Amino acid sequence: MPSRAARGPPKQKTTILFKAGNLPSNPDELFRRVFWKSDFLAGEAHNFWREVKRAEPGGLPIQAWKDWISKRGMSVGQFYNMIHGLVGAGFIEKKESRWHLSSGFLRELEQMLTVYSTESGLRYQLA
């Protein structure tokens, strides 16, 4: 009997809305770029991200979701969508059953800047 191919954990991805000429001026606008379908989830995701940030360096236990949805009036599906967006955008990651801040979003932006700069011949400089 042929063996099955082993797959690693699925890579989570999400769509981030880029609007040329419309720069985000605050964190709320940045989260709305990730959760562009729902202002409610954008706000909740930003609050959850802040909670993860407060819990660093130890991280926030993944079991915290039960308290979170009961306190915030969220459904399990909404919480799942929020986590999917945060992980997919590279804002948070799970390590050893705890949520932690992630540098994935920054790495993605840096790589995009490098690729575009190389292709266009334009130089980028962070302000």
pTM of the model: 0.83
DSSP secondary structure, 69-108, as one string: HHHHT--HHHHHHHHHHHHHHTSEEEETTEEEE-SHHHHH
- Inform me whether the pLDDT recorded for 83 exceeds 60: yes
Q: What's the whole-number mean pLDDT along residues 91-109?
A: 95
Is 16 inside any structural domain?
Answer: no
The residue that leads in pLDDT, 15 or 77, is 77
Q: What's the whole-number mean pLDDT along residues 111-119?
A: 92
Is 55 inside any structural domain?
Answer: yes
- Inform me whether the pLDDT recorded for 9 exceeds 70: no
CA dihedral 7, 35, 48, 44 (to 10 degrees): -140
Instruction: Supply the mean pLDDT for the chain.
Output: 89
Is 31 inside any structural domain?
Answer: yes
> 21-52: per-residue pLDDT in tens?
778 899 999 999 999 999 999 999 999 999 99
Is 41 inside any structural domain?
Answer: yes
Place of tokens 């991805």: 13
Is 12 inside any structural domain?
Answer: no
Task: Assign residue 33 the CATH number of its domain.
Answer: 1.10.10
Is 6 inside any structural domain?
Answer: no
Domain enclosing residue 49, as ranges: 27-120
Q: Please give the structure tokens belonging to residue 94.
A: 């799970």
The answer to whether the beta carbons of residues 69 and 63 sit under 8 Å apart is: no
Q: What's the whole-number mean pLDDT along residues 90-98?
A: 96
Residue 124 region by backbone torsions, left for phi larger than 0, else alpha for psi between -120 and 50, else beta: beta
What is the number of structural domains in the chain? 1
